[in-house]
Structure 1
């Protein structure tokens, strides 16, 4: 059953809802004084924080998947917004997707802070269990948005309470370690106070295990190398801390790998036993559906299969990625279509069709009802295997068993040994289109070498620029630099 909330975003700071799904408290500005008086008020406000997840899957495809060696994102005319992202351009500060990533995450943070502030002021009207749960949800989501910001931009302004616009405008960028401190504190609180499961009316809310899974990823990300930049990696050794959290999820027995790869992403199988946390969508032309299933597909193809215009031009999976799949790999067969014909003309470039089911289409290309899985159980198992390879408890046999379970489902031969490069290659194939590859490469310490080697093989036109450590994170948006000149310094390597 779909989570009964509605994604209805009228502006960054103004939300309006509807009854029977999600009712949102109107918030006109950062200086608006609100007073929540009933449980309904607080529930509406909590759902408003979830609402800003709507843009997350697009952000994942544009800023993570397209940035990686999974996508050859060189457009036909070289003028699309993703060209500069894919090409490691130093002139990205004005890119619309960079700007929206910053503002979208801060919109969610503002709403989370508002909810937490009202719980502190007026939470006595609630029962203790509901108050603790709502605070835990607010803190989980605040940590989620800050972690996304940190991985994208490195240092960011840390705003952990309701501020006036004037107060917020004076907050400079905060060191990465301090941002991490808030993220970890919030997720620890969430893991302690969130329920293990919800009833059918609240499917899609963050659980205890979603918090533990995200916290494990935080520890793993911090443990990656620093590259001598102020980015997400700190070079700390927290693999055992991550492993313990992942073991909690595994030992809960609440999740399991599904029998086939295809059913994980089935429109009629959402919320299956593989899903730990996802972004919810429903179609119907009310702005509640998702754009991401057709985001990387060309307009003519979407029009052909669905009957409505959508997409722009193809951003194909890279030849290097596709060549890495064994011949009988079910993941490639399900996720990728080899070209298409339109108007009698054949375009041989592969298409990422993993999230498309035309029989379930909505009213337009931005209105697909498929939930986007943020964290799934196979990821937990493979992250746990990575922790073992990085020095946490466990054996080579444990790692091989997990990887071979994944390969068995994909219908490809078993392995006898697994090192970190083999594991990363398996993750690359497993999570095609899910926005995970870029962060895996950054965490591995191999992102510069891998990306430059890949572009030398893949980019015959020599359009993609050289990958440098500075490009692990994105520039501060120019719109933010312009507000108070000198408050923020630009990230190195960008103009």
Structure 2
């Protein structure tokens, strides 16, 4: 898979090239394992691969394809941002149910297989990025092309480390391919150092990336991520600067209606800032470019013409968060499904349904893209950064709800701007992988989630370092609360 489906390539050619790239990376990995799950030092084949523009184009596409793992509907961002918050739950789900239920129940153990899988996902993705950066200087690319590739890889690395530092706190910083022996000398770096790397990468990306590009990192995407990083660090002044640059660029605007934000044929609109590209249809069973959100977020039953996975089933608490007359509720959540003559009540997300998707061998070849960042998110972060409801009210204007500060607004329930923003982000961005991170950023996670019966403490707001990682390298420390 690749992030950007190039107009001049057919899907089969892309798949062939990505498979070739995977073989190159595997040939570089040797037979020994590193505690970071990084490929060891490159062999001769990899040394000669990253030379031509064609080589680098292939490598860059492979690096972008790691987004499909990081933002997979059962990936690290989905499990934490939604399952560890109050938006979603699980009922029946395929796989290791004990390890999966542990996220929503705050019962994570150091041997949790999902946590270890997520760790591997990030560090294997970073390897794909870092090897490109390490080979750029010796490649045949022009100076302009090298700068472009470096900016794109810097954006991805900054985004991934931002996710990782919020998941685990201190994490090992790796900015180049390492041999197995070298990885045993790498320890967890303090969060401050990780955030410095993130901001350095995103700053470079924001300076060098183009204003717009379909399916690729852009200046707007880097600035949006940078604004969120600064908000997380409680630096509202710098957050305002970054986010205001996106707001005033005129490159983005809200779609006219909320219904126009999502759909299998709604792709790369003016509201989209960074969007992961998918291509469904009959041919995608062989190319692997189809979207999985529709099937994964459907209940674990076989009444849709396919068996749903049952991930991220919607809580009553989220459903009841919407105000009367808010069209976003019915456009985001359905109440259940028809099982023969019986209507089965079970709320689940419908932002990524594709009713016309081809179904084959229990796969659902959906066409829906996934937005990591969109303009409504920027507007709500701007209100958070500036303490100005103007931007929040732009979001509410689209759905014809009373504006904050006016008599019709539900001020008894959300009496402060901070609570109004928290509410608005929850309903506007529901199941888009923001909720848990939002609550952590504002320091509200423990209060909000414990009031709803979650056995959460400050220490449990970080994942454990996987047991396997520490068995492979004893100098890697464990997070408090998991010893």
TM-score normalized with structure 2 length = 0.86
**Could you say which residue in structure 2 is the equivalent of 1:461?**
none
Q: Distance in 1 between matches of 2:468 and 2:3?
A: 36
Partner-residue secondary structure (3-state), 1:350: strand
Out of 61, 81, 94, the residue aligned to residue 78 of structure 2 is 61
Q: Distance in 1 between matches of 2:467 and 2:296?
A: 25
Q: Distance in 1 between matches of 2:470 and 2:6?
A: 35
**Matched-pair contact (CA < 8 Å) for 1:49–1:108:** yes
Q: Distance in 1 between matches of 2:184 and 2:153?
A: 23
**Could you say which residue in structure 1 is the equivalent of 2:482?**
494
Q: Distance in 1 between matches of 2:246 and 2:201?
A: 18
Backbone CA RMSD of aligned residues: 2.4
**Could you say which residue in structure 2 is the equivalent of 1:440?**
438
Report deviation, 1:365. 4.2
Q: Distance in 2 between matches of 1:94 and 1:310?
A: 27
1:385 to 1:365, Cα distance in 2 relative to 1, 3 A: farther
Partner-residue secondary structure (3-state), 1:196: coil
- Structure 1 portions without partners, runs of 5+: 7-15, 224-237, 390-395, 456-463
Q: Distance in 2 between matches of 1:69 and 1:147?
A: 22
**Could you say which residue in structure 2 is the equivalent of 1:89?**
107
Out of 356, 368, 371, the residue aligned to residue 369 of structure 2 is 371
Name the count of aligned residue pairs: 442
Report deviation, 1:20. 7.9
Partner-residue secondary structure (3-state), 1:358: coil
After the TM superposition, which parts of structure 1 deviate over 6 Å for at least 4 consecutive aligned residues? 20-23
**Could you say which residue in structure 2 is the equivalent of 1:50?**
64
Q: Distance in 2 between matches of 1:79 and 1:131?
A: 45
Per-residue CA distance 1:54-92 (angstroms, 9 max, x = gap):
02222222221111011134659994543110011142x
Alignment of 1:404-423 (within 5 A): 404-416=393-405, 419-423=417-421
**Could you say which residue in structure 2 is the equivalent of 1:358?**
355
Q: Does 1:105 align with 2:94?
A: no
TM-score normalized with structure 1 length = 0.84
Q: Distance in 2 between matches of 1:177 and 1:385?
A: 26
Partner-residue secondary structure (3-state), 2:86: coil
Per-residue CA distance 1:257-303 (angstroms, 9 max, x = gap):
00111211122120000111012222211322232333232232xx3
Report which stretch shifted further, 373-382 or 25-34: 25-34
Partner-residue secondary structure (3-state), 2:136: helix
**Matched-pair contact (CA < 8 Å) for 1:24–1:48:** yes
Q: Does 1:70 align with 2:68?
A: no
**Could you say which residue in structure 2 is the equivalent of 1:292?**
293
Per-residue CA distance 1:337-364 (angstroms, 9 max, x = gap):
1122314444222121221121134544
1:71 to 1:18, Cα distance in 2 relative to 1, 3 A: closer
Alignment of 1:159-308 (within 5 A): 159-198=174-213, 203-223=214-234, 238-283=235-280, 284-286=284-286, 287-300=288-301, 303-305=302-304, 307-308=305-306
Report which stretch shifted further, 290-299 or 276-285: 290-299
Report deviation, 1:408. 2.6
- Structure 2 portions without partners, runs of 5+: 8-12, 30-39, 407-415
